[in-house]
Amino acid sequence: METSVIDDVEINLSQPSDLEVKWVGQEHVKNQLLAAWLVLNDSDVPLTPRLIGLPGVGKTTLAYTTAKELGREIYFIQATMDTRPEDLIISPVIGENQTIRYVASPLVTAMIKGGVLILDEGNRMPEKSWASLAPLLDQRRYVESQLAGITIHAHPNFRMVTTMNTDPSTFELPEYILSRLQPLIELDFPSKEEEKRILKLQVPFADDEIIDMVSAFLSAAHLEEKPFTVRSGIQILRYALKLKKVTGQSQQDCLYQSIDQILGEDALDLI
């Protein structure tokens, strides 16, 4: 396990993530994220943007693929209502002979190594946890570990982004946090052609006919302002093909059954 020493305290570092994902279309939002992370001169610091959108529109994929373009190691934290400040910074672990060793969170590891931290679904995390990150999100760019008694300063290459869903099961964050999570980058539904490309990329063994049917369903859902995203379409497509393989029913019947079981009977009205 890789370690780092800060003020004579040895810290065990986390492992980066390695995903096989690809961003399709909507180059303007990727450019906005790259601009937020850009540093113009020695006196400038990168911004910490928040990506806003419905679950399934590709916020995490956008963050990951953009970070990958920078050639940096990428780290994830999945925020929940139970995320504590020590989960974000450094946690103590009892080792052999009852000795305490300190384990860096993915965020602190990214800070030390100059990687990118993606804080997923950040508005599911309570204010107390966000407050522990306040010095990191402005010109100071550091966090403090009360448990280890050290201050960790961010590497110049460190970048951070948080994704946030637009649904009711989230916390309202205070203004002093939101003012640090700027700019706001909003993701909408991809175009019809982009959605078809995503479906083909994610389910390459599907034929064009069923991809067109799922694409048409998603387009109808968007017109009716239903919260069905391309993620829903991928799940529908995969399950329909599995049903066809097992039952031998027609592709169309399997697609209708897939929509019913994944999104509910009311979604069939969109066909």
Residues 112-144 pLDDT 10s: 999 999 999 999 999 999 999 999 999 999 999
SS3 of residue 207 by DSSP: coil
pTM as predicted: 0.88
For residue 169, pLDDT beyond 80:
no
Task: Please state, rounded to an integer, the average pLDDT across all residues of the chain.
Answer: 93
Which DSSP symbol is given to 210?
Answer: H
Q: Name the band, by pLDDT with cuts 50, 70 and 90, for residue 21.
A: confident
% of the chain beyond a pLDDT of 90: 81
pLDDT of residue 168: 64
Is residue 43's pLDDT more than 70?
yes
How far apart (Å, rounded) are the C-alpha atoms in residues 121 and 63?
A: 12
Q: What percent of the chain has pLDDT over 70?
A: 99
The three-state secondary structure class of 170 is: coil
Tens-digit pLDDT profile for residues 187-213: 988 889 999 999 999 999 999 999 999
Q: Give the range among 91-95, 149-153, 233-237 with minimum mean pLDDT.
A: 91-95
Whether the CB-CB separation of 129 and 86 falls below 8 Å is answered with no
> For position 92, what pLDDT does the model report?
87
Q: Which helix (H) or strand (E) is 131 found in, with range?
A: helix 127-131
DSSP reduced 3-state for 250: coil
For the stretch 55-114, pLDDT in tens is 888 899 999 999 999 999 999 999 999 999 999 999 988 877 778 889 999 999 999 999
Q: Of 120, 4, 16, give the one whose Cα is nearest residue 73.
A: 16
- Based on its alpha-carbon atoms, the radius of gyration of the chain, rounded to whole angstroms, reads 22
* pLDDT exceeds cutoff 70 at 180: yes
The predicted model gives 208-229 an average pLDDT of 94
Categorize the per-residue pLDDT at 20 as very low, low, confident or very high, splitting at 50, 70 and 90.
confident
Strands 9-12 and 100-104: parallel
What's at 178, amino acid-wise?
A: L
pLDDT of residue 24: 81
pLDDT at 95: 72
With cut-offs at 50, 70 and 90, classify the pLDDT of residue 171.
Answer: confident
